[in-house]
Amino acid sequence: MKSIKIYHNPRCSKSRATLALLEENDITPEIIYYLDNPPTPKELNALLRKLGVGLRDILRKQEPAYEELGLGDETLSEAIVFDLVCKHPILLERPIVVSGDHAILGRPPENVLQLLPKTGDA
């Protein structure tokens, strides 16, 4: 089975619930505390490819930093937005769960079940 990673914020109820759901399914994921170890722009790009979304699609618009940093300005270049998110990882939706070349946002936590092998799969 492929290893599973979770970009986890232990203060977030959805992140805790997603981790618990993985563990209930006998998955011990690699836990990445992304607030302490923010992704680099390269890592963030890889996550977005695996998620199949753009960066603005996984920004937490309700975070005070979103408004403080002016991220609602659609004219900001992609490079600037990447830089800001890497410096302020609290802006990323969470949790993000990765398995191989695929990733999913654990909102709701049950979304991650799509990444788990089906019963009887090898």
pLDDT (tens digit per residue) in 31-66: 999 999 999 989 999 999 999 999 999 999 999 999
Give the residue among 82, 103, 85 at the shortest CA–CA distance from 6.
103
Boundaries of every domain in the chain? 4-115
Tell me how far the alpha carbon of residue 38 is from its chain's centroid: 11
The CATH number of 4-115 is 3.40.30.10
Burial 61-83 (b: 16+ CB within 10 A, else e): eebebbeebebeeeeeeeeebbe
Q: CB–CB of 80/74 below 8 Å?
A: no
pLDDT of amino acid 1: 56
What DSSP designation does 59 have?
B
Residue 60, pLDDT score: 96
pLDDT above 50 for 115: yes
**What's the whole-number average pLDDT of the chain?**
93
At residue 122, the pLDDT reads 46
Dump pLDDT digits (tens) for 8-36.
999 999 999 999 999 999 999 999 999 99
User: What's the pLDDT score for residue 117?
Assistant: 76
pLDDT tens digits, 81-109: 999 999 999 999 999 999 999 999 999 99
Q: Report whether pLDDT(121) > 90.
A: no
Catalytic center residues: 12
